[in-house]
Amino acid sequence: MEQAQSTVREAVDWIVLLVESFGAVVITVGVLISIALLVHALARPTHPSSFTRVRLVLGSYLVLGLEFQLAADILKTAIAPSFTEIGQLAAIAAIRTVLNYFLTKEIENEKAELESAGRVMEPLPTPRH
C-alpha cells in the first residue's frame, strides 16, 4: 500500500513539474511576442493604441500562464502530506488567483476602452510558410 502511494506521489510530482513548466513556457512566449510587438510599435508609432495592444497581448499570456501555475498548485494539494504544505500552497494559490483576477479585469477594461474609441484590436499576424 505504501509503495502505491509513493508511486502516485512520484507520478503527480512529474505531472506538476510538466504543468508548471508549460505555464512558464506560455509566459515566456508571451513576453517574447510582446517584446516583438513593442519594438514594432516603437519603430512605427502610428497609433497610441499599439502600446495598449502590447499590454493586452502580454496580459493575456500572463493570465494563461497563471492558470497553468494554479492548476499545478491544485495538483500539489492533492498529495500534500502536511497541513503546513497545504497552507503554503493555499497562500500561493490565493495570490495567483488574485493576480489572475486583476489581470483579467485590466484586460477587459483595456479592450472596452479600445472599442469605445472605435479601435478594434487586430489579431496577431500568423507566420507565413
Picking from 63, 62, 37, the residue whose alpha carbon sits closest to that of residue 51 is 37
Cβ-based neighbour number of residue 65 at 10 Å: 23
Q: When comparing pLDDT for 64 and 86, which is higher?
A: 64
Distance CA 41, CA 71 (A): 34
pLDDT band, very low/low/confident/very high, at 44 (cuts 50, 70, 90): confident
The residue to which cell 493575456 is assigned = 60
Distance CA 48, CA 7 (A): 55
User: What are 67-81's pLDDT values in tens digits?
Assistant: 999 999 888 887 766
* pTM (predicted TM-score): 0.76
User: Does residue 84 register a pLDDT over 60?
Assistant: yes
pLDDT band, very low/low/confident/very high, at 24 (cuts 50, 70, 90): very high
